[in-house]
Structure 1
């Protein structure tokens, strides 16, 4: 069972003005689902006092690791 409903995925894309073709949409949704699972797991640790800060979904939640690294200033080696 997925953590992400169709409605939630649609709302996320609308909130952050995102739209994808069918194949990319599936890939991006998978990335979003992984990000949400990480947020849920981390925030359960916050609720039990194991960590001192909460995580949340944002406009980067469906980025690939490479896109995220590039956005944050990491230089990728030439291909």
Structure 2
């Protein structure tokens, strides 16, 4: 069972049951995960820039933290999926 990088109705986890890593849904999940990881790198760079800028105001810091929390959630979901941990 593979935990997919998106949720279903009501925020419930979605799983894929297949032995074929080249199936359409497996490839789609791989593509979504790759996009999420790339986005997390961008968000991290932006958050670092905000934190290193002494002139950053509360609004910028809150925005950076909000995006960072979202990205961290995505990255942790990918880690659980790839590690097979069903938390």
Shorter-chain TM-score above 0.5: no
Q: Which has the higher contact order (CA 8 A, sep 6+)?
A: 2
Higher percent of residues as helix: 2
TM-score (norm 2): 0.41
Please identify the structure whose Cα radius of gyration is greater. Answer: 2
Higher percent of residues as strand: 2
